[in-house]
Amino acid sequence: MTFTRADTVNVAILVFLSCIWGTAFAAIKIAVLDIGPFGVAAARALIGGLTLFVFLILIGSPAWRVKKSLLTAQNLRILFFIGLVGTLAPFFLISWAETRLDSNLVGLLISTGPLITALGGHFITGEEEVSPARFGAISLGFLGVIVLMYEGVLQVGSMSLMAQLAVVLASGCYAAGNLVAWRLTMIEPAKLACLSLLIAASFMIPTAFLNDVPHPASWQADTWWALCWLGMISSGFAFSLRYVLIKRAGAGFMANVGYLIPVVAVLVGGFFLGESIGIEKLVAMALIITSVILSQRFAVRLKRKQPE
C-alpha cells in the first residue's frame, strides 16, 4: 500500500489528537473531585468556546460572520445537535462517570467509538462502506479494547455499571456528532467548534448553578489548571482540529482516535502516575495499532451528496 502526503498528514493529526484527548481524562479526574460533573462540563465548554471566539476575532474571522445562506433551519438543527448531543452530553457523562471510575478505565471504555461510527457511517449516513475485511479489522481493535478492559472491569464491579454504560453512551454521542458534522463542512472548522461549544455552555451553565456548583473563587489552583487544559487545548484547539480531520478523511477515519486514546491513557498512567503496564496491556496496544492501520487500508469512502 502506498501512503500519499495527505494520508501521512491525516495520520499525524489523528495521533496528535489522541495524545491530547488521552491525557484529558486525568485532567477531568482532578477537576471533578473539586467542582463536580456539572461544573466540569460547564467550565470546559465555556473556556473552550471563549478561547476559540477570541482566536477567531484575532484572525479576522469572527464566529458570528457566517453566510446568511447557510443559516437554514436544517443547518441550525444540525448545529444544535452537534452542540448538545455531540458536545454537551459526552462532556457531562464522562465527568459524571469519573466520580465513580478511574480515569484510565474511562479512557478505555471510550474506545467503543470507532465501531459505533463505522457502523453508523455504513448504515445511517452512507459515508463509508464496511466490507467484511474492514469489519474484521475493526473487530481486531475491539478485541484489544476488551483485553485492556478486562482487569479494570473486574476491579470496578457491578456497582459502577451505570457509570460504565454512561461512558459507552458518551462514546456514541461523539460518534453521532462526527457523523453529522460533515453536513456543515461549508462552515470553517474553528467556527463550527466555537459555536458548538458555546451552545453547550449556554445550556450547561444554568444547569450547573441549579446544582449548587461551588463558586469559581473557591476552586483550587489544580482545578483551574485542569480546566484550562480541558477548555483551551482538549476542547477548543482539539475540537477545531477534529473537524479539520473529518473534512479531510471522514468520520470513520476520525473514529480511529478512539482506539489510540486508551494507548495514551495506559502510557500516561504508567510513566506519570506510576501505574503498572502488564503484558496484557502491551498485547492490547499491539492489537489496537494494527487495527487502525488495517481499518484505514480497507476503508472505502463513498461519494457524498453535497449538503444543500
* Three cell numbers, residue 288: 489496537
Please tell me the predicted confidence (pLDDT) of residue 44: 94
In which element (H, E) is residue 158 found?
none
Q: Domain count of the chain?
A: 1
Tens-binned pLDDT, residue by residue, of the chain (308 aa): 454 555 788 888 989 998 998 899 889 988 999 999 999 999 999 999 999 999 889 888 887 787 776 778 888 899 999 999 999 999 999 999 988 877 777 877 777 666 666 666 665 555 666 677 777 877 887 787 777 666 556 655 555 678 878 888 898 898 888 788 777 767 888 888 899 999 999 999 999 999 888 889 999 999 999 999 999 998 888 878 887 888 888 777 777 787 788 788 777 777 776 666 677 777 877 887 787 677 667 655 544 444 44
Please tell me the predicted confidence (pLDDT) of residue 3: 47
Distance CA(163)–CA(37), nearest Å, equals 12
Please tell me the predicted confidence (pLDDT) of residue 50: 94
State which residues form the domain around 116: 5-301
Q: Give a yes or no: residue 76 inside a domain.
A: yes
Q: Give a yes or no: residue 27 inside a domain.
A: yes
From residue 128, alpha-carbon distances to 179, 228, 233, 252 in Å are 10, 36, 30, 7
Distance CA(24)–CA(227), nearest Å, equals 10
207 contacts 84 by C-beta, under 8 angstroms: no
Please tell me the predicted confidence (pLDDT) of residue 305: 47
Distance CA(45)–CA(124), nearest Å, equals 28
Q: Give a yes or no: residue 70 inside a domain.
A: yes
Please tell me the predicted confidence (pLDDT) of residue 148: 63
DSSP state of 230: I
Half-sphere exposure of 144 (CA within 13 A, CB side): 28
- Give long-range contacts, CB 8 A cutoff, 24+ apart: 282-289: 283/144, 283/147, 284/144, 284/145, 284/147, 284/148, 285/144, 286/144, 287/140, 287/141, 287/143, 287/144, 287/147, 288/111, 288/141, 288/144, 288/145, 288/259, 288/260, 288/262, 288/263, 289/259, 289/260, 289/263
Please tell me the predicted confidence (pLDDT) of residue 60: 85
Q: Give a yes or no: residue 29 inside a domain.
A: yes
For residues 60-88, b (16+ Cβ closer than 10 Å) or e, as one string?
eeebeebeeeeeeeebeebbebbbbbbbb
Q: Give a yes or no: residue 306 inside a domain.
A: no
Q: Give a yes or no: residue 308 inside a domain.
A: no
